Structure 1
Amino acid sequence: MKPVNTPHILLIDDNLDDLAPLVTCLKSANMRVSLASVARKGYHLALALKPDLIVLDLYMPGMDGFSICRLLREEPKLNRTPIIFLSSTRQLDDRLTGLQLGSVDFVTKPYAAEEVLARIRIHLRLSSLQTAPEVHAADAIEPNDAQPHVDCDELLIRAATRLILENLAEPPSLDDLAKSVGTNQKRLLGVFRQRHGMTVFAYIRELRLQQAKHLLRGTQLPIDDIAASVGFSNSANFATAFKSHEGIPPREYRKSFQP
């Protein structure tokens, strides 16, 4: 039995046979290894086990690696956990997307197990340097990593909201949004209604108007440009929606914040 302070690596891949050489290599390096051949099971294992590093395949049935990465980045206790994509894809866009979502590395199959082990060691070392807490007297009373529990529905909401905000002018369709966070339309709609009391469409409209208010207060951008930047097809539609929401037109709203 390996001591509990050895690095714990979670491998998520729908074809675990591909990972056999890596598993052997990791165990020879005295690392603890957990395996998941089903993407959703791997996601829940990550939440439960909180491994030191995750090696993640990209294209898997039911839930892809991008979705898992998006969701884990919203979990406070896992958002700094290094994620390495290990995939057979040769597409540059896939590699760039993986890195943009917060993964630390992208390794292409077929792979050399020794090289992946070397990369894992590098990222474990970097992670320990970045997350090592300073020692304070209070830490002896209250652990540094004591954080409130975040349930799966909250992670889903956070990941979907981040994706919407990143694409506010042209948000993904409901189906694409659901797939991007590893769920289906029905569940996503249910979670939004339960947590926000509105549909996804209504929530996007709310975010657009909140962003428009921020831009009206804090910038001198023309109102036409603000309307376009938050996804309204023209300034007339924007003005109508804004007045309905705030009770005054955008121009008056801006004037109320000017000295």
Structure 2
Amino acid sequence: MKPWFIKRFSQGIAGEFARKIETMLAVQKQDGVFRCPVLITPSIHVCIHEILGCTYVDARRHLFLGSKALELIMFSFDQLNPDKGQDISCFDLETGSRNFVHKARDIMISDIKNPPSLTELSRMVGVNKTTLNQCFRKVYGVTVFNFLRTFRLEESKRLLQAGNRSVMEVAFEVGYAQQKTFSKEFKKYFGDTPSTFTRNYRQDTGNKRAKRLRRPF
């Protein structure tokens, strides 16, 4: 990232975090680009997965990818922020107060086969379940349950596209006890049953490969 962008993005940040950013920006880079190593957390992994799986086109694609790029920057800054984890109101979204919401998401997606209940999850992040659900909806636009459901279905789509698992295996891997329930939820979300989706995906992939092979050199 260019230093001018980081300076603009970090406007309004105060305290030790701001001083840390200024110190890093003061280090001259040969190519003039700011770099900072970060750990690939579950949140970052999901964001990258959403970028790679983007199906939008035209202006919507540009907006979607731009928003995800900013989300990656936010997750990266979280790892650099020494003040992260302070007890701040979850509705003051400009002060980095979404920490326990992101923590709840990370806990859920780290084990989608056996996620904790809402009561257990709220206890793990230190708030009551009503507060967790309200703040989760404010940050992500959906309830905790609907977020988990969507994540499971998106992950099942990726596994089916990989082509090395049966529908039943995928259903169990993403946390569905019964294949029938999984197929019903998958069709409701994607418009096709898992079997139809897999068949169409393989056929479409095969057609694209054949077209590439027929291209003249």
Q: TM-score, normalised by structure 1?
A: 0.43
TM (norm. structure 2) is 0.51
Instruction: Flag structure 2 segments of 5+ consecutive residues without an equivalent.
Output: 1-13, 21-41, 43-73, 83-93, 207-217
Larger RCO, structure (CA 8 Å, separation 6 or more): 1
Instruction: Could you tell me which runs of 5 or more consecutive residues in structure 1 were left unpaired when the two chains were aligned.
Output: 1-46, 53-69, 83-148
Question: Superposed, which structure 2 residues align to 1:18-57 within 5 Å?
Answer: 49-50=16-17
Tell me the number of residue pairs that the alignment of Structure 1 and Structure 2 aligns: 126
Counterpart pick for 2:139 among 195, 200, 203: 195
Match in the other structure for 2:156: 212
Secondary structure, in 3 states, of the residue corresponding to 1:170? Answer: coil
> Are 1:247 and 2:196 counterparts?
no
Moved over 3 A (4+): 47-52, 74-78
Question: Which is higher, the Rg of structure 1 or of structure 2?
Answer: 1
* 8 Å Cα contact 1:189-1:200 kept in structure 2: yes
Shift of 1:204: 0.8
Task: Using the aligned pairs only, state the percent identity.
Answer: 25
Counterpart residue type for residue 180 of structure 1: M
In the TM superposition, what is the alpha-carbon distance from 1:210 to its structure 2 partner?
Answer: 0.7
CA drift at 1:159: 1.6
Provide Cα deviations, 1:82-141, integer angstroms capped at 9, x if missing partner. Answer: 9xxxxxxxxxxxxxxxxxxxxxxxxxxxxxxxxxxxxxxxxxxxxxxxxxxxxxxxxxxx
| Alignment correspondent of 1:186 | 130
Establish whether residue 232 from structure 1 lines up as the match of residue 176 from structure 2.
Answer: yes
CA distance in 1, matches of 2:156, 2:134: 27
2:49: which partner in 1?
none
Provide the residue aligned with 1:170 in structure 2: 114
1:152 equivalent in alignment to 2:152: no
Paired with 1:238 and 1:150, the residues of 2 have a C-alpha distance of: 39
- What letter corresponds to residue 193 of structure 2 in structure 1? P
Report how far residue 222 of structure 1 moved: 1.1
Cα offsets for 1:150-198 (capped at 9, x unmatched): 6212x23322111111110111111221122222211110012212332
Distance 1:257 1:75 in 2: 32
RMSD: 2.7
Residue 256 (str. 1) matches residue 194 (str. 2): no
**Structure with the larger helix share:** 2
